Amino acid sequence: MTIKTKKYQLETSRYIKVAFQNALRDFWWFWAIPITLIVVGVLVQSFFWWGFWIAISLSILFLLFWWIQFAGVTQLEQTKFMFEKMSYEIDSRYVMLKLNTKKGMPLNWESIKKAKAKNNYFLLMLARAQFIYLPKTIFKTEHDMRVFETILKRKGLFK
């Protein structure tokens, strides 16, 4: 069975938000560095303010680095297709990203690393900054959404 969705255009702000959240989740261990600096600063009283400001600076630079990376991706010519209005055809063989009836790109399920189901959307992760964002509103029926979830479960993409 092939699931056909309504057309959807990923907004750049939504892309930045989701990619930024994924990066923060992937690099959770980074936050041990600023915390360690602050703890060392508390233990060594003369180092406290140095450690505190270094920790704050590192945190701000880390967040700024990733935000700039993802904001920059939205401006690249190579990634413009990600932000165009497209529909999707999904079946057990592949996910077809269709710009119109003649232009489309099949995406094999092997290219998708994992999938996440949230309250309002599905997220198919290809890489840290590459993903397919599928709001639940683009599915034409509730049945299509359940079939899509079943395909994701059978492919072992929910972790």
pLDDT digits (tens, 9 = 90+) for 88-136: 999 888 899 998 888 888 999 999 999 999 889 999 999 878 899 999 9
Pair 91, 146 in one domain: yes
- Give the model's pLDDT for residue 89: 92
67 and 125 assigned to the same domain? no
Residues 124 and 52: their CA atoms lie apart, in Å, by 38
In a domain, 119, yes or no: yes
Do 93 and 145 belong to one domain? yes
Task: For residue 41, name the pLDDT band (cuts at 50, 70, 90).
Answer: confident
DSSP secondary structure code for residue 2 in this structure: -
14 belongs to a structural domain? no
Task: Assess whether 31 and 58 both reside in one domain.
Answer: yes
Q: Does 104 share its domain with 131? A: yes
* Shared-domain flag, residues 106 and 142: yes
- Residue 159 belongs to a domain: no
Residue 98 belongs to domain spanning:
3-9+81-154
* Residue 57 domain-assigned (yes or no): yes
Whether 148 and 105 map to the same domain: the answer is yes
Q: What percent of the chain has pLDDT over 90?
A: 62
The residue from 73, 91, 110 where one domain ends is: 73
- Which of 34, 53, 73 corresponds to the end of one domain? 73
Task: Compute the distance between CA of residue 38 and CA of residue 102 in angstroms, rounded to an integer.
Answer: 58
93/137 same-domain check: yes
* Residue 62: predicted pLDDT: 95
Same domain, 94 and 132: yes
Same domain for 65 and 89? no
Domain shared by 92 and 112, yes or no: yes
Burial 30-63 (b: 16+ CB within 10 A, else e): eeeebeebbeebeeeeeeeeebeebbeeebeebe
The residue among 144, 109, 153, 158 whose CA lies nearest residue 3 is: 144
pTM of the predicted model, to two decimals? 0.83
Number of structural domains found in the chain: 2
